[in-house]
Amino acid sequence: MNRQTYYLILGSGIAGLTVAIKLAQQFPDRKVLVVTKSNEDESNTKYAQGGIAVVMDGVTDDFEKHINDTLLCGDGLCVREVVEMVIKEGPKRLAELIQWGTHFDTAADGTLDLGKEGGHSNNRVVHFKDQTGREIERAILTKAHQQPNIEILDFHFAIDLITENNICHGVFVLDEKSNEIITIHSRFTILATGGIGQVYQQTTNPKIATGDGIAMAIRAKAKISDMEFIQFHPTALYAPHSASTFLISEAVRGFGAYLKTKNGHRFMLDYDVRGELASRDIVSRSIETELKNSGDDCVYLDCTHLDIIEFQKHFPTIYQNCALEGIDIAQNWIPVIPTQHYLCGGIAVDLNGVTSINRLLACGECSRTGLHGANRLASNSLLEALVYAHQIFKFLSQTDSEIKSVKYDFKRKGNPIAAEWVSTLKEKLQSIMQQNAGIVRNDTDLKNTLKQLQVWKNDCREMEREYAVTKAFLELKNSIEVSIPIVAYSLKRTQNKGSFYKEGKTINLQF
């Protein structure tokens, strides 16, 4: 089956849907097709708890402070031009989101309630309780459905980009319900496919975060960058028997919670003068050091000294999830561990979100804009997605191209690849990446891991020659594809920066 569309967007989170809405409103006669591999509301956006970092208080805060906080967190590897653009565009893009019907918490005087998170010098995080991402996803989906020229194909898995002479002409898509492979030709394709969390055993990302967009871009020979910079969130709920990982938002520490060892020692002050509000890389490594020295399974977040009524009002989901685990935060400390959270690198794009492949653009977590450098400042990701979605919209508003149909027969062979083979290899992949490409790395383990990843990549090629692909197999293949540059770039890096730390290499202190 063949289809055509003017604009093809892969991903239905804040980045993808914002682009879709803007293009649909600007060009009501042009078809905008959004392809997503799960439910239309399932995305990394949905699970973002903290909020959007935006300078709203011109009295105690200003753009330069936010810029400096971002540059400090990025540890010398941010692109200043990008940082300035994103932060200065923030208030306009937030106003647009509010106009589209997104709700945010307000103070008693009616102004936006601004939270504070690690690495920020001021209160500037706009939020909706501890469910900011879910509220944004609700609002933008509603807005998208109001546009008659937007079509959302859910449960459709993008397999590979269609490219010829470094030009992207569309994508091959697997209809997960009919098992049919569809060829979609487009004038422009936008990757907004999110992160790579499922590469790791422990991640705050949903099951869909398997690096699909980045993997497709790699196979299409697009330029990627900064893949070694994997941010670990310091405080995920330690619940070893739970089927999923639950994040304890950084805003809880901004609210006044303390990190402690089981003996009650508030250890973060031993590592950084900012204590619990140091940047995520420092807090995560500090926890990792404490656990390595003590042999304990976790550290603890102490909220018992806080106003519990106010805590419940600000963090209802966190309060309820802790209660389900038998933790009464008024009396009990919350057990926490660092967990993979965010990829700072990805598909390299310019200020307009344009990749190194003609007619292919990217935004959101799958892209590397230069905003984050070596480490993402808390709540800058939703901001980046909004701003770059707007940049792509502006670029495409002034750009046009013709649809060219490229004939290519995507053959399916034989029986489906065995689910057991896929699940076994997936477990092995997650285990080796968690152990050898985590918070602290070393060259010996990285070299061994890279060799193993290459073997598994070849194994996947052999399976594709003999069997029909499945969604689970394609996700595994993509996870291996993105794991290779994570490890390879880690081997090449000789200086520790931001979220990257390799034993025996130069340490770059941020204190």
**Catalytic one among 280, 368, 376, 441?**
280
Beta strands 367-368 and 299-302 are unpaired
- Residue 324 falls in which region: left (phi positive, over 0), alpha (psi -120 to 50) or beta: alpha
- The pair of structure tokens assigned to 325 is 């685990």
Taking the C-alpha atoms of residue 285 and residue 461, their distance in angstroms, rounded to an integer, is: 37
Packing angle, helices 14-26 and 132-145, rounded to 10: 30
> CB-based burial of residue 291 (10 Å sphere; 0-12 exposed, 13-18 middle, 19+ buried)?
middle
**Length, in residues, of the chain:** 511
The single residue listed with the structure tokens 């890096």 is 493
3-state secondary structure 181-221: EEEEEEEEEEECCCCCHHHCCCECCCCCCCCHHHHHHHHCC
Strands (E), 275-392: 299-302, 334-343, 346-348, 360-362, 367-368
Taking the C-alpha atoms of residue 170 and residue 163, their distance in angstroms, rounded to an integer, is: 7
* Rg for the chain, CA atoms, rounded: 22
Whether 93 is a known active-site residue: answer: no
Residue burial 175-198, b: 16+ Cβ < 10 Å; e: rest = eeeeeebbbbbbbbbbbbbbbbbb
Chain CA centroid to CA 162, Å: 25
Catalytic annotation, residues: 280
